[in-house]
Amino acid sequence: MPMLHTVNKSPFERRTLDTALRHAVKGAAILLIEDGVYAAFDGTVVAEKVKAALADHKIYVLGPDVAARGMSEHHVIEGIGVVDYGGFVDLVTEYDKVQSWL
Amino acid sequence: MKLSVLVNEGPYQHQSADSAIQFTKAALERGHEIFRVFFYHDGVNNGTRFAVPPQDDRNITQEWTALAKEHGLDLVVCIAAAQRRGILDENEAKRQGKDGNNIADGFRISGLGQLIEAGIQSDRMVIFGD
């Protein structure tokens, strides 16, 4: 399995999501954690870009970090998987390497 | 699987110190081995026992200490980053002529070689920080 890329900063604050998407090869997965979860919500100015990325990448978002920001799963773009910390661990072990974009 | 965790952010800064401990707990619950947790840059501030957060708040350092005790975790604080930020164990306090030490139970101070070794020995390295 290719690489898992984690993104922990909001796309409205940093460019790390763009960087991760630029470097991620087809089949690589993106996991949005901490403020990175803002990229997972529908109706934002980055939502179309994220939806387009779903064609080449599986995208996941950390559920507890969504809830911590007062949002819920039905705000999340369709096609993005919601995982808990156990799911985070599973992704880390399923993919060959982890690149943490900070 | 053998995992290591690198923590580059201090406690109560943004969220990474919390994410790191939650991830570590989940990995242990899944039955994975945590080879080492390495604290680097401001992450070394997770290792002082002198922090006194409000009683109704989480105490991240004590959580690490408890986790280390329960699972025999190797919590390593980078020596150069620690010296810059005033994190000292007994030996370092003596060597630097300081009047006390503040390293928390379960943590130890060592060098960057420990991070490199963790990278080599572990199947995965997960980084938390800014």
Q: How far apart are CA B8 and CA B128, in angstroms?
A: 6
**A–B CB contacts, 8 A cutoff, strictly below:** 53
CB A96 within 8 Å of CB A66: no
Report whether pLDDT(A91) > 90: yes
Contacts of residue B70, defined as CB under 8 A and 6 or more positions apart, other chains included, come to none
Report whether pLDDT(A1) > 90: no
Please report the pLDDT score of residue B20 as a whole number: 98
Considering B21, B78, B82, B103, which one is annotated as catalytic?
B78
Test A93 with B123 for CB contact under 8 angstroms. Answer: yes
Please report the pLDDT score of residue B26 as a whole number: 98
The reply to whether B78 belongs to the active site is yes
User: Could you state, in order of their start, the residue ranges of all structural domains in chain A?
Assistant: 4-101
Average pLDDT of every residue of chain B: 98
Contacts of residue B128, defined as CB under 8 A and 6 or more positions apart, other chains included, come to A8, A100, B5, B6, B7, B8, B9, B16, B17, B19, B20, B23
Test A92 with B126 for CB contact under 8 angstroms. Answer: yes
Please report the pLDDT score of residue A2 as a whole number: 94
Average pLDDT of every residue of chain A: 97
Test B15 with A102 for CB contact under 8 angstroms. Answer: no
The fold of the A4-101 domain, in CATH, is Hypothetical Protein Ychn; Chain: A, (3.40.1260)
Q: How far apart are CA B104 and CA A43, in angstroms?
A: 45
Confirm whether the ipTM is greater than 0.90. Answer: yes
Q: Mean pLDDT over residues B27-40, rounded? A: 98
Q: How confident is the model at residue B130 (pLDDT cuts 50, 70, 90)?
A: confident
Q: Which structural domains are found in chain B, ordered by start?
A: 2-128 (3.40.1260.10)
